[in-house]
Amino acid sequence: MVDSAPNNNLQGIVLILLGVLLLSVMDAVVKVLLDDGFSVLQILAVRSWFVAPAMAFWAWRVSSGRVLHTKRPALHFARVVLGFFAPFFFFSSLNTLPLADATVIFFGATFIMTALSVPLLKEYVGPHRWGAVVVGFLGVVVAANPSGDFFQSGAVLAMLSSLSYALFMLITRWMGPGEGAFKQVLYFHVWVGVVASAFVFADFKPMAVGDVGLVVLVSVIAVSGHLCLTRGFSIAPVGVVAPFEYSAMVWASLMGYWLWGDIPGNATIMGAVIIVASGLYLLHRETRLKRRQGALEADAIEAAPAPMAAPISVPITRQEQERE
Please check whether residue 232 lies inside any domain of the structure.
Answer: yes
274 domain residue, yes or no: yes
pTM equals: 0.68
Ranges of H-type helices in 176-237: 181-200, 209-235
**What's the CA gap between 214 and 47, in Å, rounded?**
10
Asked if residue 36 is part of any domain, the answer here is yes
Distance CA 76, CA 125 (A): 26
Which residue, 217, 315, 282, is CA-closest to 16?
282
Average pLDDT, the chain: 77
Determine, yes or no, domain membership for 79. Answer: yes
- Asked if the structure places residue 250 within a domain, the reply is yes
- Torsion-angle region of residue 157: left (phi > 0), alpha (psi -120 to 50) or beta? alpha
Report yes or no on 139 lying in a domain: yes
Q: What does the pLDDT read at residue 89?
A: 92
Asked whether residue 305 is domain-assigned, the answer is no
Higher-confidence residue of 257 and 110: namely 257
Total of domains in the chain: 1
In the Cβ-directed half-sphere of 274, how many Cα atoms lie within 13 Å? 21
Instruction: Express each pLDDT in 167-209 by its tens digit.
Output: 887 887 777 666 677 877 888 888 888 888 988 877 889 999 9
Question: Is 306 a member of any domain?
Answer: no
Quick count: other Cβ atoms within 10 Å of Cβ 61?
A: 9
| Domain ranges, residue 22 | 6-300+311-323
Most confident of 2-11, 184-193, 234-243, 266-275: 184-193
Model confidence at 94: pLDDT above 90:
no
